[in-house]
Chains A and B, each alone.
Chain A
């Protein structure tokens, strides 16, 4: 049997759902960031896979994926800086304990 686009879609969907699952269930801020990275990777897989199966040979999917990777790196840098700043103040990165502002 040959591998169609559906196979990739299923992989990316599962990755996406796992990422979302991490985000909503884990308390650790860094672990939540891992979830975000999984979501971004699932989208990237879509881009690359679609690009491969496209009729024309334009590479816009690939280019998109590269930009996403760059941006993910920037986002990770910023987010980890913030996580560190929070850890300095709160001595924890458990998000349910960092909830002074509410209601």
Chain B
């Protein structure tokens, strides 16, 4: 009886994640799809917390829900919420289904039969907070990746600004070449 509640919790999270992800995949309206993604991300954050990865879970909420999702919604709004989208929503629909069926058939047996380097659920230790250990790791073993990530963010920022700024002005009176 002990394990029932955690199990139920897992199934609830998984149901939310997969259900909302499926809705994202099959919804007609892109705004609905974007909002349903909120539940996917949130569900994943809960699952991370459930797995004892508190820092990852919090990052997931802050960055995914608070950052990426907002960006995606901005994207949807800026590019016009095209209502005519409902007419021809998808391309390759059946090919897409065939693809995931094929891939699933190839992957499921491999995943389930694999000799993972894991313990069984029963012998798992109690989960502890990971925040301080991760902070230490980032400043020691993972110092270089940490610095590289900051460089990457800098570059992404500059790149995004340059790209989104577009060709608003030209230098020395040269007009930009336009071609189809």
Binding site for B on A (CB under 8 A): 1-11, 13-15, 17-22, 24-31, 33-35, 37-38, 41, 44-45, 48-55, 57, 59, 62-63, 65-67, 69-78, 80-85, 87-88, 92-94, 96, 100
Measured in the bound complex, the distance between the Cα atoms of B50 and A7 in whole Å is 13
Chain B interface main SS type: helix
Measured in the bound complex, the distance between the Cα atoms of B90 and A78 in whole Å is 25
Chain A interface main SS type: helix
In the complex, the number of residue pairs spanning A and B with C-beta atoms less than 8 Å apart equals: 225
In the complex, what residues of A have CB within 8 A of residue B134's CB? Answer: 59, 62-63, 66
Measured in the bound complex, the distance between the Cα atoms of B127 and A83 in whole Å is 42
14 A–B pairs (Cβ distance < 8 Å), ordered by A: A6-B111, A21-B97, A27-B88, A30-B30, A30-B79, A48-B48, A53-B124, A55-B119, A66-B134, A69-B59, A71-B149, A72-B63, A72-B64, A81-B160
Shortest beta-carbon distance, B95 to chain A, in Å? 7
Instruction: Give the interface residue-count category, chain B.
Output: 35 or more
Measured in the bound complex, the distance between the Cα atoms of B124 and A100 in whole Å is 55
In the complex, the answer to whether A18 meets B53 with C-beta atoms within 8 Å is: no
Closest to B157 in A: A77
In the complex, what residues of A have CB within 8 A of residue B48's CB? Answer: 48, 65
Shortest beta-carbon distance, A52 to chain B, in Å? 4
The yes or no answer to B133 lying at the interface (CB within 8 A) is yes
15 A-B pairs besides A14-B21, A38-B21 with CB distance below 8 A are A3-B121, A15-B40, A19-B21, A22-B24, A27-B88, A29-B79, A30-B75, A34-B37, A37-B68, A50-B117, A54-B119, A62-B55, A63-B142, A78-B160, A84-B164
